[in-house]
Amino acid sequence: MWVFLGSDCLFFGSLIATYMVYRGQSIIGPYPRDIIDVPITTVSTFVLLMSSFAMVMGVSAARNGNQKRLIQWLLFTIVLGATFIGFQVYEFNLFRVEGLRYETNLFSSTFFTLTGFHGAHVTLGLVWLVGIVIIAARNPAGRPSGLDVDIAGLYWHFVDIVWIVIFTLLYLIGGFDGPPEAGHAAAQGWNWVTGLIS
């Protein structure tokens, strides 16, 4: 699992680096400041982080051999993860309605690639958790081991941590970007300020 997560770190690192390299260089809109809705994404981020808490409780239940609690916490994790995906589907559809498609500009291409791959990872995690719940519910004697749930939890926490980075860079920092001229003016202003300090 660690090798897989390490390779996934490189994968997401390259996608994040690509986004950051092309940040603020879209010639045509809509631009992030026109379309990004930080409050809604903040709520979906909170939902995903709460799913991490539920996963921790599920891992704890598995280690203690409490199958009933394991199933309850994993179902809660699944509901929260599916809610996060629902927010993402809503956001993607809203962007489509407002004229932002994958091919619209550099922002849309890098944004949809990065957040889409993250959403695919969350979906894979949901399928994995559903599988664990089915195994636990159908065969009480052959319940998933603590290690099985630990590994799924490790993956789930990784996906949550990746989202924190994406949320910070794409929404909180990059969500207010405009056309390249605005970004260039901001960079010139920053250079002027740092020139005064030094």
Max intra-chain CA distance, the chain: 71
Long-range residue pairs from 134-141, CB within 8 A, at least 24 positions apart, any chain: 136/67, 136/70, 136/71, 136/74, 137/71, 140/67
pLDDT single digits (tens) 107-158? 889 999 999 999 999 999 999 999 999 988 887 666 677 788 899 999 999 9
On the question of a cis peptide bond just before residue 140, with omega within 30 degrees of 0, the verdict is no
pTM of the model: 0.84
The residues spanned by each domain of the chain are: 36-175
Half-sphere exposure of 183 (CA within 13 A, CB side): 19
Q: Which of 15-24, 75-84, 184-193 has the highest mean pLDDT?
A: 75-84
CATH number for region 36-175: 1.20.120.80
